[in-house]
Structure 1
């Protein structure tokens, strides 16, 4: 076994915890807010009874007034939910057709959208439950009035108005292509800072690892699952390989699509069993949609897709394509000055336990240029912008990337001729 200097790369990528995954689905925050409103609707009327003697000033109306207020709030909020839902569907359709379907996940992950849905539904549920606390007495003066509950419903209604304004502002920004491109770039740049944290020319150097003769190996397949390799829990893989005193070599990179029967990894060593298989499967999460939690290339893929669609004959929008190239330029200028960490990941004792290929700069360069140059072959302003970007990258890139940049410059020049 060889030692590696890339131990720090184990924790360079954010590992999603169970808590993180629990809050990822769109419906979780609205459900949590609704359950909280339900609990408040059950507790506040009891508090009203205890404080009835001095809480008269909170809501001065009688039972009929309280009943009317809660009914109005409930009907108004549930009606507005339909409007919010309709607006959301229209924006999703516009974003999918105008930009790329691969940005829909980021829109639904927005806490503004989730909180708006949650607040309106929670207010509706709270108002309905609070209505039960109003006694149906003939004499309103003897009827119980949940003053604190009605006041709290008023506050929730005001909160709904505030979130609706924030939702409308968020919607208007979400359909602006410049905002969409910038948001994807910001998210990708934050991931680059974690995956490629250093600029040291020797940062990616380190001892290599190769299996010794006679070492047993076990081919690990994906089983019955399928999807894109969305997350890899590297610390867990290092622990697993260390416990078995072997090495796990990953056969697939982040973002790759795997289906049942395909190999995920190879374990070099002895002692691989069903428990180890289960632990590895849980450490390598497959998803139907790619995300930028760990996959740097997906951010570039989203940007290039927007540029490709802008250059299509049906759209013919070179300005948007140039905006995409500007954002790609911003990202590429960072990564061409950095070295990809060594794929050989060691444990605390300095022994290589996992071999995992990280983000490849040359692949990202090719992805960012080749498709756009092909679709822009009859659009000189876009080709000229690609040439200017590559010229600038050539002036600041590390020597190891000069060959790839020169090859791409020749490709762009061939389309321009």
Structure 2
């Protein structure tokens, strides 16, 4: 019989939850590939309209700025605009080629990493902004004797060109590094480790025992409002709704699961008044997506690494050394899991009452995901079985008493299948 834990601080509203919520909002706002280049373009157009107007209101030649006449200014701006749009097409073409190489050589699941690269987005943004800024300033240059030349405007265009050249050099360096298999694997593993560390830090504040869940009377089934992957869970929103109506929300899927529209996604125990729109309250705390992301889903990080290993072990590529590199990173991730306890699946209010029950991935499930497929596709390799045996032996040695039987059973299963 488990004991009821002592009251724990309510997660609603907490500083960590508020920070996570702001992070998710910024991620959703800036995640599309076109957002950052669009911001650059809007800023460039605004500057191109404002700077000549400010100069017109404050006439007078300024030192160290563009000293040519109207015809010279038109020539410079026209040259900059033509060159920038040409190089923008080159940068875009290089990006497309890199995406094709990454998809075919590594896995389609790593494309999101390339598309979310800020260096690529800012490079396209600077080149497009230089083009639009030059055209916008060019419209204010009047080729007459009495007209004033926007010295600051032309000089800023020149500075944008310098910035674009610097960004182009950084972009070329970034592209050459990003298509390296070592960096692709390392980046995927680092994102997984950061997310795992955040979850383990949060788990340390919860008790080890899971309390009994009292019967609250009445039950409402929440159906999925759309089809998609369960990408985020806002626990503070769900806990607030459950606390307000003295109920308990139980999620039926873990993060990363594909939910079909109309399928049960949560159960609300208790629920108070029948006037409460529980479908809307629960869906306000759930985020669906057409593609999985690394906002909260640790399993997606492991999935990406396993996919890279499987692609490397395919007959078309036949690169077991790359698969071994993936096993190295999986070993590090699993070792961090095997010495810690599984995620705490319940959340309390400030009185200690359970308000939210989640379905989290266990260490056994992560171990299955990390080992089974690689062991199957790498069974005929000389390197893969030996490296998996080394990893499982080390995990069994380092594991806590709760996880050690799981690792031992997995090692025995792998040896049995191989035999």
* Pair in the same fold by TM > 0.5: yes
Is the Cα–Cα contact under 8 Å of residues 4 and 346 in structure 1 kept in the other structure? no
1:190 equivalent among 194, 201, 207: 194
> What does 1:13-52 correspond to in 2, within 5 Å?
14-15=20-21, 16-52=23-59
Aligned-partner Cα distance in 1 for 2:221–2:418: 47
1:265 is aligned to 266
Q: Any conservation in 2 of the 1:37–1:122 contact (CA below 8 Å)?
A: yes
Q: Give the Å deviation of 1:4.
A: 6.6
Q: Distance in 2 between matches of 1:389 and 1:201?
A: 30
Contact 1:203-1:341 within 8 A present in 2 as well: no
Structure 1 residues 3 and 202: CA distance shift in structure 2, 3 A: closer
For residues 186 and 375 of structure 1, do their structure 2 counterparts lie closer, same or farther at Cα, with a shift above 3 Å needed?
Answer: same
Check whether the contact 2:5–2:209 (CA below 8 A) recurs between aligned residues.
no
Q: 1:243 matched to which residue of 2?
A: 244
Contact 1:133 1:144 in 2 (8 A): no
Q: For residue 298 of structure 1, what is the aligned residue in structure 2?
A: 300
| SS of the residue 1:196 aligns to | helix
Aligned residue number for residue 184 of structure 2: 180
> How many Å separate the matches in 1 of 2:237 and 2:185?
34
Question: Which residue of structure 2 lines up, in the alignment, with residue 65 of structure 1?
Answer: 72
- Once the two structures are TM-superposed, the CA of residue 341 in structure 1 deviates from its matched residue by 3.2
Q: Which runs of 5+ in 1 are unaligned?
A: none
Q: Tell me if 1:307 matches 2:309.
A: yes
CA distance in 1, matches of 2:205, 2:277: 41
Deviations 1:354-412 (A, max 9, x none): 00122311100111101100011111211100000011111111111112111211122
Distance change in 2, residues 1:77/1:342 (3 Å): same
Q: CA RMSD in A?
A: 2.2
1:96 aligns with 2:103: yes
Separation in 1, partners of 2:343, 2:85 = 52
Q: Distance in 2 between matches of 1:89 and 1:323?
A: 26
1:152, CA displacement in angstroms?
A: 0.3
Equivalent residue, structure 1, for 2:379? 377
Q: Provide closer, same or farther for how the CA distance between residues 395 and 202 of structure 1 changes in structure 2, counting only shifts above 3 A.
A: farther
Aligned counterpart for 1:78 among listed residues 85, 99, 106: 85
Q: Name the residue aligned to 1:404.
A: 406
C-alpha displacement of 1:297 = 0.4
Cα 1:287–1:6 change in 2 (3 A) is farther
* Distance of aligned partners of 1:314 and 1:219 in 2 relative to their CA distance in 1, 3 Å threshold: same
Displacement of 1:345: 0.5
Deviates more, 1:121-130 or 1:22-31: 22-31
1:58–1:76: structure 2 CA closer, same or farther, 3 Å change rule? same
Change (3 A) 1:4 1:387: farther
How many angstroms apart in 2 are the aligned matches of 1:30 and 1:185? 28
Using the TM superposition, give the Cα deviation of residue 201 of structure 1 relative to its aligned residue in structure 2, in angstroms: 12
| Worse-matched range after superposition: 189-198 or 49-58 | 49-58
Shift of 1:50: 3.4
The answer as to 2:231 corresponding to 1:230 is: yes
Correspondence for 2:175: 171
TM-score (norm 1): 0.93
- Please name the residue that 1:151 is paired with: 155
Residue deviations 1:233-276 (CA, integer Å, cap 9, x gap):
00000001111110000011100000111111000113355643
Distance in structure 1 (CA, Å) of the matches to 2:121 and 2:358 = 36
| Deviation by residue 1:305-338 (Cα, 9 ceiling, x = unmatched) | 0001111111111100000000001111111111
Q: SS where residue 124 of structure 2 aligns?
A: helix
Of residues 398, 407, 414 in structure 1, which corresponds to 2:416? 414
SS of match in other structure, 2:415: helix
Q: Distance in 1 between matches of 2:33 and 2:9?
A: 35
Give the SS at the match of 1:197. helix
1:345 to 347, 355, 358: 347
CA distance in 1 between partners of 2:253 and 2:274 (Å): 19
Aligned length: 411
Which runs of 5 or more residues in structure 2 are unaligned? none
1:3 Cα deviation after fit = 5.2
Instruction: Provide Cα deviations, 1:275-298, integer angstroms capped at 9, x if missing partner.
Output: 432232121011011011100000
Q: Give the corresponding residue for 1:207.
A: 211
Does the alignment pair 1:134 with 2:141? yes
Match of 2:221 in 1: 219
